[in-house]
Every structure is written in structure tokens, then in C-alpha cells.
A and B are shown apart, each in its own frame.
Chain A
Amino acid sequence: MLTGSSQPAEAKTKTQSMSHRLGMCRMPSAQMRGQGLRNQRIHTHLMEMMLHLKQTIEKNLMHLTTRHLQQDLVLEEQRHSQAASEEEALLGRLIYQLVNLLQSGAVGGLGLQPSCPSLDVRRDVRGGQWAQSSRQPDWPVHQLSDLEATFVSQHLSSRGIDISALYHSSFQDYKIYQRDKYHEDKNTMGFINLGLSENKLCLDLMTERLSQSDMNYIEDDLLQYPDWRGQPFLREEVARFLTYYCKVPDQLDPENVVVLNGCSSVFSTLAMVLCDPGEAFLIPAPFYGGFAFSACLYSKVELILVHLDSEGKKVRALILINPQNPLGDVYSRDSLQEYLEFAKRYHLHVIIDEIYMLSVFDEFITFHSVLSMESLPDPNRTHVIWGTSKDFGISGFRFGVLYTHNREVASAVSSFGYLHGISGIAQHKLCRLLQDREWIDKVYLPTYRSRLQIAHGYMTKKLEALGIPFLNRGSGLYIWMNLKMYLDPCTFEEELLLHRRFLDNKLILSRGRTYMCKEPGWFRITFADKPLLLKQAMHRFCQVLSEQKQDLIMKQLENAQRECSLCLRRNPRHLPPVQAQPPHRTWTVTMGMVWKENALENQTGSCQSSVEWVILPPQRPLIAPTCPLEEASLNGSGTQLRRATGPTTWTSMMRIRTPVASLTWAPVRTNSALTCCPGG
């Protein structure tokens, strides 16, 4: 079913073209893109699918090989009989599909759903049909049809498909969480989400404040079409609020304030009005992944990481997040000044997201808002974003602010007021909230910060106990930690797998890859939640990590054994091992035979070791006589091929170092099997 039908092929072309476009925004520079193809997210289920495909391939290979052999015995000319070439074509298609799927998977835009049963795509795409969604037991086989259902819609435009796909891939976890939230009484088995940066520490205070009678006020004006920049009373209050909390030398001007329904909206509109499609923003990575999403979803603007002007892209702006997300860094006044000067030199706009400005809980750290600077290097190109989602923990309120001295930009952004308007009723409540300086200063902020401190303290202690390195900053709602030591090998695929493992244990974290982090293994964990929940979450966290090493080892073993049995079936002749390999837990495969060397005695072996295969073809060389297979990228999966050295009687020898979970060596074996002679 996976082979000949035209629909998967259609899915493939769609996803291919999509992956190209999505690739643009996710992997801007050539270097990054290459890396992306090799390293980027290969979804678990994709791997399962590959396993399935691989088995098909192997079956066909067996067939082919025997056929070849028989033909060898008969006539050279008949070598390519009808049947054989058909099978070869079939094989070719399969491999082609594999490669394509891998490539598109590498870009991550597919939104392929993992194998975890609770992650059925249909559940959310098809909304409430959960009950009738009868999932088949033989799961991997159904992946392609899911793919089609989601992404090959005849009704959507291609960008509509892109948007859906990008959303799916970026917000999978979020949707799972929405369906099955942890609740201390009602749903103790639900997902705990420490991947989302949401401040749940002060919901009691907020609920109480918002329930007070001054909040509930209905006036004709609030129900009528508003000023699309935001109601004047609210813009005035925002100006006062920012003047005070950003320590602005002069009073800010309400005319420079534009209020929209959330910071993503502000960011999206800025991307629209500052950039043309295909132009770019410059952003230090790792950074909050929502930006990439906001920049390209509507606006088709790329984010370029750190370096100026790669590939002749026109860079229009620099994005700074202060306090930084996910690092938690707070920029000093001097470095801020430097960044702004830099931007000015290159005529770049600077978009500064200060959404965590009140969430600095370490009293020795001072936050400096860009608005507090005596004189901005380039005020007309400096645009500040703030919102209540984080600092007040009311992300459900949908409120974001733009402050800019540039009236042109303000007007242009205001054009979108229609599309990003906030309810008048909510505007009133926000105004009251921001106005109540006394409550904020005397009740809210002190409580909030001390709770942040406590939660942060708890979390860091746990991490220290586990020996996990992390960045210890005094701001934000999250900790940036390094779980590299739990990855083997240290790749983004493994990072994803670890992430999945957390998911399987109903714990959502966010992984470095989604922040465009260059090194695999980093995770962001949010700590701004109730102590009880944190405790439960850390329990799951420890459990996962303690299982991780053990499990990796087990998986390696299983894989090796499976291969072994396959190979044995194919070629029962016993060939001696040619080489003793220094790394422990090494298996040597000769013509399909598997040997274990230094095998099991080292159960606790370092995670760095990996399965090694040596395939020894006989008289004929492996693929081509002197084919430079080293580092040949078979299909972008991260597989490395190295020519083996050492004494051997065989004409050539291959060693393939494979990430355990990746089965991408199959095509190589294909070749070896195809060219191997029985006499070997």
C-alpha cells in the first residue's frame, strides 16, 4: 500500500515543495540548511515507517538477489528480465520515497504525528471525532494516509497548507496538552506542561483582582467600534505604566502606543510593515521559536541567525529579547547600547521584546528597558513590545503593546487593528489593572517575585542533584538546561527522541531545536507553576532520565539482534571476524553476519559508543571500486560512512556507524547485497 499508489506520491510532492518553502524560514543560511538536512528532526514515526519500508526492501532484495544468482547461472543477456526490472523499479521507488520523506522530515514542517497513541492527528484535525476515530492497530502503515488527510487538501491554498503544517509541527505538544491537562484531583495522569512559558504562580491574585467590582463596567463606548489603535484611555494608561516601570526619563506619549491582541500579533504586523516577503530579521539564537512562526506565517519574513546578510538576503531589523528567552539573560545597559549602535550603523530597525521585564526575580540583577535610555541611537527605528501575558500571567487575555516613536510604523501597524482588535470590555479591565499601581507594587509584584524565587530555587536544586548543567539566571519563567549527557549520539534526532520520551511520560518540555539552538541537547523547562505540580513534574522528569540510559542500551541491543537474525537468515555462512574494535559493545558484521565484541560485559558502557557494522563484500567492491564513501550523505539522516582500515583479505571493507534508532543504513546494504557474489 505504500508503494505504487499515486496518492502518497502526491503527498510527497506537496510536502516536498512545502518543505522547500518552509525551509526558507527555518534554515536560512546554506550552511544551516545543510546541517538541517542531516540533523534535523526525524520524527519517530517516520523511523517506524522506514523500518516498515526497509523490511519491504529487504524482502525484495532477497528476491532480487536470488533472481540475479539464478540468472547468473543461465544467461548474461537475460539478466534484466521483466520481473527483475520491475522489482528494481519498485525498489527504486521505495528508496526514493524514503529519501524524500526523510528530507521533508528533516525540515520539520510536515507535522507528522509520532507513534504515541494519544497523538493521533485526526483527533485534532478532526476536532471532536475522537470517539469514532477508530485507529488501526498496525499503526505505522497508516501514517501516509494521515499525511494526506492533513496536508493534501484540495480545498486549501498552498500557503494554507503551509500554515496548517507549520502550525501542526510547532504546536503539536500544545494541542496534546490542551486535550489532556494535568489536574491534581481530576486528571492526575494528564500532561504537565513545562514547555510552555506560562506564569501560573499568581492566578489566585489575578483572579481576585479581576473579580473586584471596578473591573465589571459596561459602557456604550466599550461596545462600539473602537479606535483601532486601542481605546484612548487604555493607550494613555499604557504610556503611564511603561513610563513608570521602564523608568523613562520623560513621559511616554500615548500617540506612540498601539494596542493589539497579543505580542505575536504585534510582531506579525511589524514583520509585515518593516519587511517585504523574503527579507529577513536578524536574531541571536537560541531564541523564542514563536518568533520564527510569527514572522513567516502571515508575513513570509525570514529569521537569520546571528550573522548579517547571508545569501544576499536583505536584513531589515534586529530582534532582541530582553530578558532573553530561553536563556534568561538580562542585557546590561552597555551591551544594549552597543547593540543599538550596531543596528544604527547598518540602518536596521530594532525590535525589542521586553515581555519579561517585570519577571526579574533576582534582586541583584537590574533590568534596563531600552525606553530608559537617555537618548536612543536611532529612535525612529527602535520599536518596543510588551504585553501582560508573562508579567501578569494572563496569557488568555490577549494583550500586546507596541511603543514606537515612528508614527509611520505606528500608523501602518494600526491598519491591522481591525484584524487584531481587543474587546472593549477587556480593554477596560486591562486599563484598571495597569492603573492600580498600589496593588501592583505592594501586593502583586512582591508576591510574584518571591514565588518565582522559590520555584526557581526548588527547580535548580533538583537539577543540581541530578548533575544537570543549566544556566542560572535570575529572570524569566524558565531554565535553560543541558541534557547532552543523556543523548547517544548527541544529535537532534536523539534530542527529539528524548523529548518524545518525556511526552510518553506525560511531561512536556521544549527542546533546543525549536529555539534554533546550534547544539543538540538543550531543553527549556518552565518553573513558574504551583509547587505541587512542580514536584510531580520533577518526579516524571527524573524517572525519564533514569530510564534513558538503560533504555538506550537496550534499544541498541535489540536493533543489533534484529539485524543479526535477518542477516543470518540471508546468509548462513559463518565468516570469521576480521577486526577487533576498540570501542566496547561493538558488533562486526561480515557478509551479513554479526559478532559481538566486548559485548555485554560492559552494560553500563558509555553512551557515546555506538553500534558498528562492518560489511565485507567479497571480490567485488562495495558500490564502486573507489567510491569515496566517507561521509557520503546517504539520505540526510546523519549516517556516517567510513572506510574501515585494518588488515583484511577482502578487497574493500565498510564500517557504518549508525545512530541506533536510525535505520538509514538500509540502502547501503542494498548495494552491498546487490553486488555481492555468492563466492565470497
Chain B
Amino acid sequence: MFTLPQKESKAPTTCPGPASTQDLDSNHGDGLERECSRKPDWKLPEFCGVGDPTATASSDSSHLSSRGSIIKWFWDSAEEGYRTYHMDEYDEDKNPSGIINMGTSENKLCFDLLSRRLSQSDMLRVEPSLLQYPDWRGHLFLREEVARFLSFYCKSPAPLKPENVVVLNGCASLFSALATVLCEVGEAFLIPAPYYGAITQHVYLYGGVRLVCVYLDSEVTGLDTRPFQLTVEKLEMALQRANFEGVKVKGLILINPQNPLGDIYSPGELRDYLEFAKRHKLHVMVDEVYMLSVFEKSAGYHSVLSLEGLPDPQRTHVMWATSKDFGMSGLRFGTLYTENRDVATAVASLCRYHGLSGLVQYQMAQLLGDRDWINQVYLPENHARLKAAHTYVAGELRALGIPFLGRGAGFFIWVDLRKYLPEATFKEEMLLWRRFLDNKVLLSCGKAFQCKEPGWFRLVFSDKAHRLCLGMQRVRQVLEGKSQVPDDPASCQSQESGNQHR
């Protein structure tokens, strides 16, 4: 119910019918009137080809609330690929026939550097103040360090201020908190699709906020354009369409470098998008979680914080985390930078629920402050390894004659497997995804990113060479098998979406 296709509306509507959602609503609609009017509209956002989760949700649970059932559905379905993987993880020695994970966007290339650094003696400090209730925005020493760090690496014209920094346990929490404090239930953010699909869940779980897709497509329309290019025109159209359908849009989410496209916005483009947002009084959340993972110097990355004179600084909120750039997704450290004190305060009010351990905060401050190590050891090595891995996978793909995108940023390549689908449907895409999984390699399919065109896959290359090699081999097996053996309708009833993890 929440597709806003640009041209002919050809989006598959496999989302739950209104009957079932209504059912949920009427069951529990007996609160006070005020509560009713504020009651979250617990309709499912349109997901990938989901069946009807609300049907099962409403029938099988006497213990959960109706929203609890939907929340549980997120856990049960969206994680399936991930869990299958966890039950049968590849291990060189112990489980060589296990699943190779090329779906989760994690940087596994630099654990050696990181664990060495994190084991150094300066990391061991334990202080009573770190063990006590903290400043919920994050310890001051950490916020100061983050401000210095971002000033330097985002090349901000003026030093950034620690009081504009809020630290939480990851960008997921940040999306959740921002959605909650910027939107009412049922309101929406614009987001160019394909996008990192887990954001849907982040803004929805607590916030009840929906995403309006600005659909991009692979078609190249002009000389200076590229596939899946975001333009102000497309933004305008999506916004108009949303307004037309009575959906209140409060903000725009930009991911730069983009996930899954690996696209990088030029300063000119960025400014255009920001001006667009300003015209419509939209908040802009810029997720720059891959900003230091630009391994091609020529790509020319520019942080939004580097712009002189932001069009609407009070509505521009920047997110960064160590999950990607420092390959520590398990560390749970994310940060918000915003000049809007109201927003910072409101997000900080929720930090009670999104806090991170004081000891870890201390370690992060040490890490981010070690400019020598970052500049001379970590970043050069990380970039070199990323580049080598990218080169290898790109070479393999070229050898297979598979078109792909990738501009030298991020951990992934956006791969065009459309020619391997007998029919251009998401069902076929899912079948192919399942076939990969059966052949013990986990990828993410385009549907998980709300891609409009079936047949695109995201392939993560930031892994050790031997695993990468084996993974590519398995991919090739499937694709070559596919092109030889005619399609057999395998036992694929699963309607889940593949992997949603970054």
C-alpha cells in the first residue's frame, strides 16, 4: 500500500490486504479517543514480496499485543536468510561446505589491524566514572573526540562542536530515534530506492514511520547520467505523489556513499538535494556510514559537513558509525551530528534506551583520537585490501559477462543478473536467491532493497581472499547451471526477503 511508482504503477502488490489490518485495528480500538487518534497505524509497510504476516500474527498469539505480533513477524521473517547462514556458517577447517556470506555488508578484511589496536594498553583503562550512569548523550570526552574526528575527516569548514554530537549504540538506533522525534505515527520519509532495506524496520518498529520510495532505475536517459541516478525531478515527483495520496512526508534520507549502489553524490548533486529539501521544509538525514570506505581516490567523496553554507542547517542531520569504516559492526557505536539543538535534545532523551557501555565509549575515544594509526596504518591498508578484493570480484564478473555498478566505495557491487531470470518478476528473483543459498552462498536480492527492477543483487566483496574465491565459484556454478539447466520450480515457498543486514 505504500508504493509510489513513478511511471506506470506496475509495482507488485503482495502486501497484506486491508481486511486483515482492519481486523487488527478493530480488535484493540477501544482506548480513549485521544489515544485512538494517536494510535499507531500498525499496517505493515510494504515489504518485499511478503505474504500476509498479519494473518498469522493475529491468529496465533494470545500473548502478544497486535503490534507485538507484527514486531515478532519482523524477527521471524526478515532474519531467515541470516539465521540459515548462522546455522551453517562456513569455516575453513570445521565446516568447509558451510554457507559463504556475501550478503551481509561487513568489512572482514581488517580484523587483524583492529584487534591489535584494540588490545593495546591504552584501551584497558577502567575508571569508576565509566562504570556509572553516564551523560546519556555520550561521555563528554567521546563527544569531543567525535567532533574532532568528523571535523577532520569530513573536512568541515569550521570545527564541529561536541554539543552537537549525540552518541548511541549504532545507526539503527539513530534512525529509530530520529523517526520518533521528527514524525508522527504514519508520517513518512522519502528515500531513494534501492536502499539499505533494514531502515524500513528501524523507523517502523518504535516510530511507526513509513518510507516513501523515490524509485530509481537502471535506464540511462542522457549523456551525463548514470544508472540509478537520483535527480531532483524524481524527488519532486515522489513527493508530489505522496502528497497526493495524503501521506505527510517529513524528511529525506540520503545514504552517501549509497548502499547498495555504491554511488557517490557530487557536491553539486548534494546541494541540489538539500535545496529541494529546503524548499519543502524537509529534514535531511544523511547517512555517511561508508564515508571512509571510499577506496578509489578518483571517486572524490564529499561529506555534507564539508559544504560551505548548508542550505538548511537546522534540518540537516548527519549520521556516522564505526560499523563499516572501522569494520566493527558488533561494537554498536553510532553518532548523530546536528546543529538543531531541539533535535539533539529529543534524540538524547531517548538515549536511555540506546546507550553504550562506558568502557566501549572510552575505547572508541582512544581509537578515533589515534590519528596516526588511522592515517598511516589503518586507512591505507584497509583501502588497499578493499581495492584488491573489489578488483578480484569485478574481474570475475566481467569474465562471466555480468554487468555491474560500483564506483569505488563501500563493500559491495550492485550486480545485474536480469538476464538469468526467465521472467522479469520478483518471484524469479527470489528463486534465484534461493538457488544461491542452496549452493551455500548468501547474497542479497534487489527486492530486499526495494529495487523496482527484478534481477539485481548486491554482492559483498569485503572478505578474505579464500572465502571470496570460494563464494564467487559458487555464484558462478549457480549462474552457469542456471544458463544450462532449465528452470525447475524448486521447493521455494519461502517468501522472505533475503538478508537485511548491512
Interface of A toward B, CB cutoff 8 Å? 20-21, 24, 124-129, 150, 153, 155-161, 163-164, 166-168, 174, 178, 196, 198, 200, 203, 206-207, 210-211, 216, 218-228, 261-262, 264-265, 268, 272-279, 294, 297-300, 311-314, 316, 349, 380-381, 393-399, 406, 408-409, 411-412, 414-416, 418-426, 429
Contact present for A156 and B342 (CB under 8 Å): yes
| A425 in contact with B363 (CB, 8 Å) | yes
Contact B360 A423 (CB under 8 A): yes
Among listed B128-136, B289-297, B389-397, B470-478, interface-contacting one = B128-136
Q: B263 near A: Cβ within 8 Å?
A: no
Question: B483: CB under 8 A from chain A?
Answer: no
Among B64, B68, B169, find the residue whose CB has the most chain A CB atoms closer than 10 A. Answer: B68
Residue of A227, A265, A412, A425 touching B360 (CB-CB under 8 A) = A425
Residues of chain B within 8 A (CB-CB) of A408 are 61, 63-64, 72
- Bound state CA distance, A17 and B110, in angstroms? 52
Query: A-B pairs with CB below 8 Å: how many?
Result: 306
CB of B67 within 8 A of CB of A276, answer yes
Determine if B39 and A276 form an interchain contact, defined as CB atoms under 8 angstroms apart: yes
Q: Is the CB of A272 within 8 A of B68?
A: yes
- Give me 5 other A-B pairs in contact (C-beta within 8 A), A299-B206, A313-B31, A396-B132 excluded: A155-B342, A156-B343, A207-B131, A223-B115, A273-B68
A193 to B, closest residue via Cβ: B133
Is there an interface contact between B169 and A421, defined as CB atoms closer than 8 Å?
Answer: yes
Evaluate contact between B205 and A157: CB separation under 8 angstroms: no
Contacts of B133 in A (CB 8 A): 174, 196, 198, 395-396
Q: How far is the CA of A296 from the CA of B68 in the complex (A)?
A: 15
> Which of the residues A178, A274, A311 comes within 8 Å of B68, measured between beta carbons?
A274
Which listed residue, B71, B283, B327, B354, touches A420 by the CB 8 Å rule?
B354
Nearest CB of A to B456, in Å: 23
A299–B114 CA distance with the chains assembled, in angstroms: 38
Q: Are B333 and A277 in contact (CB under 8 A)?
A: no
Confirm or deny: B163 has a beta carbon within 8 angstroms of a beta carbon on chain A: yes
Which residues of A are found within 8 Å of B169, using beta-carbon distances?
Answer: 261, 398, 420-423
Residues of B within 8 A of A218 (CB): 114-115, 118-119
B234 interfacial contact with A, CB 8 Å: no
- Bound: A219/B345 CA distance, A: 35
Q: A126-B341, A222-B330 are in contact. Are A178 and B131 (CB under 8 A)?
A: no
CB-based contact B34/A396 at 8 Å: no
| C-alpha spacing A129/B314, complex, angstroms | 17
B123 within 8 A of A: yes
- Complex Cα distance, B123 from A211, in Å, reads 10
Q: Describe B's contact surface by its main secondary structure.
A: helix
Cβ–Cβ contact B30 & A274, under 8 A: no
Q: Is B40 a contact of A277 with CB atoms below 8 Å?
A: yes
Render B311-331 as a binary contact track against A, CB cut-off 8 A, 1 for contact: 000110000000000011111
Is the Cβ of B330 less than 8 Å from the Cβ of A223?
A: yes
| B125-159 interface with A by 8 A CB criterion | 126-135
Question: Least Cβ distance of A316 to chain B in Å?
Answer: 7
Complex partner residue of A216 from B124, B130, B132, B501, CB under 8 angstroms:
B124
B303 interface hit (Cβ, 8 Å) = no
Q: Is the CB of B331 within 8 A of A425?
A: yes
Given A274-B64, A278-B39: A224 touches B106 (CB 8 Å cut-off): yes
Q: Select B131's contact among A155, A163, A164, A394, beta carbons within 8 Å.
A: A394
**Interface residues as binary, B177-191 with A (CB distance below 8 Å gives 1, 0 otherwise):** 000111111010000
Among B38, B65, B180, point to the contact of A279 (Cβ < 8 A): B65
Which of B63, B132, B201, B363 is A381 in contact with, Cβ under 8 Å?
B63
Q: Is B384 an interface residue (CB 8 A)?
A: no
Q: Report yes or no: B32 in contact with A298, Cβ–Cβ below 8 A.
A: no
Q: List the B residue with the shortest CB-CB distance to A163.
A: B349
Interchain CA distance A178-B135 in the complex, whole Å: 7
Q: Which residues of A contact B358 (CB under 8 A)?
A: 396-397
8 A-B pairs closest in CB distance: A127-B163, A278-B31, A160-B181, A273-B68, A278-B35, A167-B349, A396-B358, A424-B330
Residue pair B328, A261 in contact (C-beta under 8 Å): no
- Which residues of the partner chain A approach B34 to less than 8 Å between Cβ atoms? 20-21, 24
Give the chain A neighbours of B74 by CB distance below 8 A.
Answer: 415
Q: How far is the CA of A647 from the CA of B365 in the complex (A)?
A: 78
A277 touches B39 (CB 8 A): yes
Please tell me if the beta carbons of B346 and A163 are within 8 angstroms of each other in the complex.
yes
A220/B75 contact (C-beta < 8 A), A316-B65, A397-B358, A423-B356 known:
no
In the complex, are the beta carbons of A207 and B250 less than 8 A apart? no
For the complex formed, measure the closest distance between the CB of A353 and the CB atoms of chain B, giving whole angstroms.
16
Given contacts A129-B163, A380-B63, contact A220 B329 (CB under 8 A): no
| B124 near A415: Cβ-Cβ < 8 Å | no
Question: Is the Cβ of B330 less than 8 Å from the Cβ of A225?
Answer: yes
From 344 to 374 in chain B, residues with beta carbon under 8 angstroms from any chain A beta carbon are 344-346, 348-350, 352-360, 363
Q: Considering only CB atoms, which chain A residue lies closest to B161 in the complex?
A: A128
Beta-carbon contact of B331 and A203 below 8 Å = no
CA distance A429 to B185 in the complex (A): 38
Residues of B within 8 A of A381 (CB): 63
The smallest beta-carbon distance between A162 and chain B, in angstroms, is 9
Within 8 Å by CB of A418, from B30, B32, B172, lies B172
Chain B residues near A423: list those with CB within 8 A. 169, 330-333, 356-357, 360
* Bound-complex Cα distance A200 to B206 (A): 33
| B-chain residues with CB within 8 Å of residue A419 when the two chains form the complex | 170, 172-173, 176, 202, 205-206, 353-354
Cβ–Cβ contact B115 & A157, under 8 A: no
Say yes or no: is B310 at the interface (Cβ < 8 Å to chain A).
no
Contacts of A198 in B (CB 8 A): 132-133
Task: Report A-chain residues with C-beta under 8 Å of the C-beta of B129.
Answer: 396
A residues less than 8 Å from B164 (CB atoms):
127
How far apart sit A9 and B106, CA to CA, in the bound complex (Å)?
A: 52
B181 near A398 with CB under 8 A, answer: no
Nearest A-chain residue to B178, judged by Cβ: A160
User: In the complex the two chains form, what is the Cα distance from A311 to B104 in whole Å?
Assistant: 49
B299 at the interface (CB under 8 A from A): no
Chain A residue, CB-CB nearest to B206: A298
Instruction: Report the separation of the CA atoms of residues A421 and B74 in the bound assembly, to the nearest whole angstrom.
Output: 16
Evaluate contact between A164 and B346: CB separation under 8 angstroms.
yes
Q: Establish whether residues B181 and A163, one from each chain, have CB atoms under 8 Å apart when the complex forms.
A: yes
Contact, CB under 8 Å: B357 / A426: yes
Q: Which residues of chain B are near A409, meaning CB under 8 Å?
A: 63-64, 68
Contact of A412 with B172 in the complex, beta carbons under 8 Å: no
Task: State whether the Cβ of B98 lies closer than 8 Å to any Cβ in chain A.
Answer: no
CA distance A434 to B65 in the complex (A): 33
CB–CB B359/A426 < 8 A: yes
Residues in chain A near residue B68, CB distance under 8 A:
272-275, 409, 412
Q: List 24 A-B contacts (CB under 8 A).
A: A24-B32, A127-B341, A153-B342, A157-B183, A161-B346, A164-B181, A210-B131, A210-B359, A223-B111, A262-B353, A265-B354, A272-B68, A273-B72, A274-B68, A276-B67, A277-B31, A278-B36, A312-B30, A397-B131, A408-B72, A414-B75, A419-B172, A424-B332, A425-B360
Task: Take A300-B38, A395-B133, A415-B74 as given contacts and tell me if A220 and B198 are in contact as well, using a CB distance cutoff of 8 Å.
Answer: no
CB pair B63 A349 closer than 8 Å: yes
Q: Are A396 and B135 in contact (CB under 8 A)?
A: no
Complex CA distance for A290 and B119, rounded to whole angstroms: 37
A432 to chain B, nearest CB (A): 12
Q: Assess whether B162 is interfacial by the CB under 8 Å rule.
A: yes
Minimum C-beta distance from B435 to chain A (A): 24
Query: Could you say which of B176, B183, B345, B357 contacts A422, with CB atoms under 8 Å apart?
Result: B357
Tell which of A211, A268, A349, A418 has the most Cβ of chain B within 10 Å.
A418
Give A273 to B61 CA distance when docked, in angstroms.
11
In the bound complex, what is the Cα–Cα distance between A268 and B355 (angstroms)? 14
Q: Which residues of A contact B206 (CB under 8 A)?
A: 272, 298-299, 416, 419
B-chain residues with CB within 8 Å of residue A311 when the two chains form the complex: 32
Assess whether B124 is in contact with A211, with CB atoms less than 8 Å apart.
Answer: yes
User: B65 is contacted by which of A153, A196, A276 (Cβ under 8 Å)?
Assistant: A276
Interchain nearest-CB distance for A297 vs B (Å): 7
Contact A223 B331 (CB under 8 A): yes
List, in ascending order, chain A residues with CB within 8 A of B501's CB: 225
Contact B345 A298 (CB under 8 A): no
